[in-house]
């Protein structure tokens, strides 16, 4: 998006926020942190039912906030979910159907990210960890350079894609996979050794401490762990916890490393006396990366009791852990049954800080009422798209089509059959027809968005 247009958008919207928050001796606008893991399944947290993995800090976070039983990534793969989380628009609108390879694609410049949208309300922003929405440096094709700085982030300590989760520079990956800080290469000598989740959190906390030196300027942080995506390395600090688990112990050690990083973050927010006024989200970008067929997947990750895994649109591919802690607003912990999607974060945050939604189609909806414990009802079905798969889910039913031109439609009653064991399509042809029409209309809307013509006035 052009900087001139963005500036006009920011100037217009800041008037609303400046009136709303004028005269405050201390910032009333909450800080915002979204923490996202990679390939962590719905069941890969103790408070979601895992019997082996140790996640005491996430469990405590859930016990002080909201644990979402039905939290969904907007896609079942990494780049699409990251694009949807930052923009509030489904990845299909941006033509991002799967992981973005180097020199092959990027987040469109015309999209408005959370980093850009919050600028008008006086926020500073930082991205830490995995990006995977475009190239960082000009290794293959300069047309696909889209690093966090070009997406509105003021501070960024970022890798283009994955790297080893222990001693990140020891793997096979070239320099374009390594860390860059605000456009400059970060050599291994600058602390890029050991537990990668700790490395990501080290830089996040350094930046947050700097932000608190400007108490009148709230911050937005997008923290993206590389774990538990391959290549995984055993985290020695947690090796003994899982000595009896064989190869699974490597995976579990990385889950506990993520948990430890989240514990450091929660402790630091309290030490800085900003925890109450910080909206802290934790989620994954998609379900676990499992081996096997759709109905009998095998691997160390846990999809809980659900069908499917990373790459498909059964529940195991898109239903992920989702936790929100925000002491100033969420006074009592609870388990929430309503459906929440990563694309909902954009409109939720804009409503929270008093910013109007830009003029373009959005797939997410604000869940501020839900967060406050007020009656909430999602009035429109949710569309999903990834790697040729398509799905539409309303309050009760889910219509799904697998990848392939000849693939038929499947229908599931998510209230009676959340594990998607009984396909009802052959017995409910009228419902299938209605939902198929709605799904096809949504896909056409997304295809129009791919042309950039629906951006409207920004």
Q: How much of the chain exceeds pLDDT 90, in percent?
A: 85
Contacts of 148 (CB under 8 A, 6+ apart): 115, 127, 131, 156, 158
The CATH number of domain 384-450 is 1.10.8.640: no
Determine the pLDDT at residue 395.
83
The H or E element containing residue 168 is: none
Q: Which two tokens stand for residue 379?
A: 């009035």
Determine the pLDDT at residue 327.
98
pTM of the model: 0.93
Q: What is the pLDDT of residues 216-251, one digit of tens each?
A: 899 999 999 999 999 999 999 999 999 999 999 999
Q: What is the pLDDT of residues 151-206, one digit of tens each?
A: 999 999 999 999 999 999 998 898 989 999 999 999 999 999 999 999 999 999 99
Contacts of 419 (CB under 8 A, 6+ apart): 305, 306, 307, 315
Q: What is the pLDDT of residues 238-295, one digit of tens each?
A: 999 999 999 999 999 999 999 999 999 999 999 999 999 999 999 999 999 997 666 6
Determine the pLDDT at residue 139.
62
Q: How far apart are the first and last CA of the chain?
A: 9
- The CATH number that domain 3-380 falls under is 3.40.720.10
Q: How confident is the model at residue 406 (pLDDT cuts 50, 70, 90)?
A: confident
Question: Average pLDDT, stretch 35-57?
Answer: 98
User: Where do the structural domains in the chain lie, given as residue ranges?
Assistant: 3-380, 384-450
């Amino acid at each position: 998006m052009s900087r001139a247009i963005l500036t006009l958008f920011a100037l217009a919207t800041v008037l609303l926020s400046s009136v709303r928050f004028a005269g405050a001796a201390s910032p009333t606008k909450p800080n915002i942190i979204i923490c996202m893991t990679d390939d962590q399944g719905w069941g890969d947290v103790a408070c979601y039912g895992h019997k082996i993995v140790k996640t005491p800090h996430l469990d405590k976070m859930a016990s002080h906030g909201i644990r979402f039983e039905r939290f969904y990534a907007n896609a079942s793969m990494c780049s699409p979910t990251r694009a949807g989380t930052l923009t509030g628009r489904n990845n299909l609108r941006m033509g991002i159907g799967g992981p973005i390879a180097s020199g092959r694609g990027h987040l469109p410049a015309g999209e408005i990210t959370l980093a850009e949208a919050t600028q008008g309300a006086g926020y500073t922003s930082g991205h830490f960890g995995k990006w995977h929405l475009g190239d960082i440096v000009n290794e293959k094709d300069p047309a696909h350079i889209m690093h966090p700085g070009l997406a509105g982030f003021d501070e960024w300590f970022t890798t283009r894609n994955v790297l080893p989760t222990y001693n990140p520079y020891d793997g096979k990956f070239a320099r374009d996979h390594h860390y860059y800080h605000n456009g400059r290469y970060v050599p291994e000598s600058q602390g890029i050794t050991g537990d990668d989740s700790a490395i990501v959190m080290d830089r996040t906390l350094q930046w947050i401490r700097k932000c608190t030196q400007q108490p009148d300027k709230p911050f937005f942080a997008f923290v993206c762990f590389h774990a538990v995506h391959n290549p995984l390395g055993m985290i020695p600090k947690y090796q003994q916890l899982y000595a009896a688990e064989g190869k699974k112990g490597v995976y579990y050690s990385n889950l506990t490393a993520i948990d430890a990083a989240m514990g450091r973050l929660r402790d630091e927010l309290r030490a800085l006396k900003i925890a109450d006024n910080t909206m802290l989200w934790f989620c994954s970008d998609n379900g676990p990366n499992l081996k096997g067929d759709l109905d009998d997947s095998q691997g160390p990750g846990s999809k809980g009791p659900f069908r499917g895994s990373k790459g498909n649109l059964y529940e195991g591919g898109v239903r992920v852990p989702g936790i929100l802690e925000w002491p100033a607003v969420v006074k009592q912990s609870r388990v929430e049954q309503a459906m929440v999607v990563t694309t909902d974060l954009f409109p939720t945050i804009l409503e929270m800080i008093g910013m109007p939604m830009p003029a373009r189609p959005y797939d997410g909806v604000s869940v501020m009422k839900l967060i406050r414990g007020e009656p909430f009802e999602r009035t429109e079905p949710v569309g999903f798209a990834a790697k040729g798969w398509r799905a539409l889910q309303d309050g009760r039913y889910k219509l799904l089509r697998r990848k392939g031109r000849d693939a038929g439609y499947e229908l599931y009653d998510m209230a009676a059959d959340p594990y998607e064991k009984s396909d009802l399509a052959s017995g409910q042809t009228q419902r299938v027809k209605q939902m198929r029409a709605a799904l096809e209309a949504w896909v056409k809307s997304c295809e129009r968005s791919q042309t950039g013509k629906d951006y409207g006035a920004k």
